[in-house]
Amino acid sequence: MAEISDVYFIDGMRTPFGRAGEKGMYWNTRADDLVVKAIRGVIERNPGVPLDRIDDVAIAATTQEGDQGLTLGRTAAILAGLPQSVPGFAIDRMCAGAMTSVTTMAGSIGIGMYDLALAGGVEHMGRHPLGGDADPNPRFLTEKLVSPDALNMGITAERLHDRFPALTKERADRFGMLSQHKAQAAYDAGKLQPDLVPVAVKSADGAWGLATEDEGRRPETTMAGLAQLKTPFRPHGRVTAGTSSPLTDGATISLLAGAQAVKELGLTPKMRMVSFGFAGVQPEVMGIGPIPSTEKALAKAGLSIDDIGLFELNEAFAVQVLSLLDHFGIADDDPRVNAWGGAIAVGHPLAASGVRLMIQLAAQFAERPDVRYGLTAMCVGLGQGGSVIWENPHYTGKKKNPKK
């Protein structure tokens, strides 16, 4: 008889994230090969996991075509050398694709159907721009179900500035600048590199190299520099390239397990899933999506926002994160929030990003036995939000020594 089980995040790895487009390091690299590299990285780092015991592989992509199509979870599993008995599938919830891969696999583990699963996502935005080949139903416009520009994420970010006057351009600029500085500080301290899988890349002239770091970082960012940037989504607007995540290529993967597999295989979990929630909002202001999804996840867990000791919030746009912080009464520079920087600095390869948040949270949990709960949350195109609450297995109940 299958039994209800806790769900554990055993490990997670990702490729370095690259700038999308011809000048980016992955221009000559296939999307499915990025997924394969991430899968191989996690497998090699967890040699105690029997590959034939993996019950499923869920891989998300927002634009499921070309080298991101063809039931990506199954094709990536075969290409990564998993036994042919391991099935796989593809999933899509736009920016929350990898997050949904994780929660979907967690549901199967939680009800005892699965013991082990791989869940992640990929986006090669250089090859496959968001909505590039999509054909939205004309009813969306003729029946005024959504605004014509609801799929323009930059305009939805401008609308948050409109709706909440307290969310000023200066606050967004400062948040964007600090994201760059925190990400560089994390790199300098060697925080991010352990979970990056090096990827062999070929340049336009045929020379081979190795991608080992996120390509889009701008640690030299200043407030004065940000003030000079154009506002591409609206004349005299407030959203700039400095307060937006760049177009990005990359892949992520996580290894999940149930309690029985953890015990039987002697695995060491990095996090335990507590709860999750997804919610819908007006597509025109999709950036507020994480607010109701976080409220759902907190309610399911019986927790309040004050119980959350670390936040990994996807920085699609600075204003989107600030709207959540204001809603919950959290300061812009609260040290619990995106301590190692976020997507404005390292990039946001749409469907891959949810697991990046989890990887960074898990690494911080290992350093912070004083923190019991953490939140990974993100806004999602077409008016959604996704949130997952995690528990730190290293938690001791002891307060952090301020002298350390």
pLDDT for res 401: 58
Active site residue 327: no
Q: Which residues contact 107 (CB under 8 A, 6 or more apart)?
A: none
- Whether 270 contacts 365, CB under 8 Å: yes
pLDDT per residue, tens digit, the chain (404 aa), is 889 999 999 999 999 999 999 999 999 999 999 999 999 999 999 999 999 999 999 999 999 999 999 999 999 999 999 999 999 999 999 999 999 999 999 999 999 999 999 999 999 999 998 877 788 888 888 888 888 777 788 999 999 999 999 999 999 999 999 999 999 999 999 999 999 999 999 988 889 999 999 999 999 999 999 999 999 999 999 999 999 999 999 999 999 999 999 999 999 999 999 999 999 999 999 999 999 999 999 999 999 999 999 999 999 999 999 999 999 999 999 999 999 999 999 999 999 999 999 999 999 999 999 999 999 999 999 999 999 999 999 999 887 654 44
Would you call 389 exposed, middle or buried from its count of C-beta atoms within 10 A (0-12, 13-18, 19+)?
buried
Buried b (16+ CB within 10 A) or exposed e, 93-126: bbbbbbbbbbbbbbebbbeeebbbbbbbbbbbbb
pLDDT for res 136: 85
pLDDT for res 404: 42
- How many alpha carbons lie under 13 Å from residue 73 in its C-beta half-sphere? 26
Active site residue 95: yes
Active site residue 379: yes
Q: Which residues contact 223 (CB under 8 A, 6 or more apart)?
A: 170, 173, 174, 177
Catalytic pick among 95, 124, 128, 161 = 95
pLDDT for res 394: 97
In the chain, the amino acid numbered 346 is V
| C-beta atoms surrounding 331 within 10 Å | 10
